[in-house]
Amino acid sequence: MLTVFIIGPAGSGKSTLTAAFSKWLEANDMPSVIVNLDPAVERLPYRPDVDVRDYITAKELILDHGLGPNGAIIAAVDILATEMLPQIKEDIRSYRAGYVLIDTPGQMEIFAFRTVGTFIINELSEERSAVLFLIDSVFTLSPTTFVSSLLLSASVFYRFGKPQIMVLTKSDLLEKSDLEKATLWISSPEALLTELSREKTCSRTFHEKICDVIKDIIESFELVPVSSVTSEGLEKLYTLLQQIYVGGEDYVVLP
């Protein structure tokens, strides 16, 4: 089993990608199991095989305990971690699927930056696991928002230490010229620095230091443009995940 955690800021396309990628896998004869870990979501674009809401919802915590929306998600995730993980793990394993796609809560920081998030990720990871960190294409339109997204991706890696792929979501909404610009920034941190230097938010020295960090991030993680609407990039995503799944060239037969 390869457990794939789909993580990203609110609205970055996590649930839609979960739906599109599971369909793609199914169309290519790769069975997958879909897990919804978002206790607050009302509607999903897929039918989850395992759903945290069967055990706990943010809504009931709001109604029963008077919590606010974020407090309710924090409490739900804590309850999930302390009481429900063995059952959820068993539910997932009962499917015996090759891929486990885990759609994570919209409020990324509640999941990614609290200790409980690391615990859940470690508990649910099967023999192989990976993180897809989603960056909304709209964040490539400005160099500073793009850089902020790359730093956020690095901080998620810093938390979980899993093999990680950066997914540029909603690529169908990007103009060709914007995609080319983002590709240039990725391939040439110098070009990114030139662009950043035009922004007067901070000094050139600070931009230079950030670009040094960005260079390392770019070298460490692939960035794959993906559209859940047109399916562009899903095959590339699969190829990269397979490399993680099979652990390189040596392993040729899937379990």
Ligand X SMILES: Nc1nc2c(ncn2[C@@H]2O[C@H](COP(=O)(O)OP(=O)(O)OP(=O)(O)O)[C@@H](O)[C@H]2O)c(=O)[nH]1
Q: Where does this chain bind ligand X (CB under 6 A)?
A: 8, 10-16, 38, 106, 169-170, 172-173, 227-229
The two tokens of residue 245 are 């799944």
Between 147 and 174, CB nearer to ligand X? 174
Which residue's CB comes closest to Mg ion?
15
- 15 is an interface residue for Mg ion by CB under 5 A: yes
How near is the Cβ of 14 to Mg ion at its closest, in Å?
A: 5
How near is the Cβ of 13 to Mg ion at its closest, in Å?
A: 8
How near is the Cβ of 164 to Mg ion at its closest, in Å?
A: 19
The amino acid sitting at 243 is Q
Q: Which stretch binds Mg ion (CB under 5 A): 9-17, 54-62, 122-130, 231-239?
A: 9-17
Total residues interacting with Mg ion, rule: CB under 5 A: 2
For residues 249 and 38, is the Cβ–Cβ distance under 8 A?
A: no
Strand-pair partners of 45: none
Selected from 2, 4, 14, 101, the binder of Mg ion by CB under 5 A is 14
The two tokens of residue 57 are 């919802």
How near is the Cβ of 251 to ligand X at its closest, in Å?
A: 31
Between 20 and 214, CB nearer to ligand X? 20
- 188, HSE (Cβ side, Cα atoms, 13 Å): 7
Between 111 and 245, CB nearer to ligand X? 111
> Which one of ligand X, Mg ion, none is in contact with 170 (Cβ closer than 5 to 8 A by kind)?
ligand X
Which run of H or E residues covers position 143? Answer: helix 143-160
How near is the Cβ of 155 to ligand X at its closest, in Å?
A: 17
Instruction: Please tell me the distance from the alpha carbon of residue 179 to that of residue 168, in angstroms, as a whole number.
Output: 10
The amino acid sitting at 123 is E
Between 14 and 53, CB nearer to Mg ion? 14
How near is the Cβ of 33 to Mg ion at its closest, in Å?
A: 17
Burial (CB count <10 Å: 0-12, 13-18, 19+), residue 178: middle
Q: What does the DSSP 8-state code read for residue 82?
A: I
Between 105 and 189, CB nearer to ligand X? 105
Q: Where are the beta strands (DSSP E) in the chain?
A: 2-7, 32-36, 50-51, 99-103, 128-136, 164-169, 223-225
Cβ neighbors of 232 (< 8 A, separation 6 or more) are 171, 172, 225, 226
> Which one of ligand X, Mg ion, none is in contact with 169 (Cβ closer than 5 to 8 A by kind)?
ligand X
Instruction: Please tell me the distance from the alpha carbon of residue 136 to that of residue 10, in angstroms, as a whole number.
Output: 10
How near is the Cβ of 227 to ligand X at its closest, in Å?
A: 4
Between 129 and 171, CB nearer to ligand X? 171
Between 125 and 228, CB nearer to ligand X? 228
3-class state of residue 114 by DSSP: coil
Residues in touch with Mg ion (CB under 5 A): 14-15
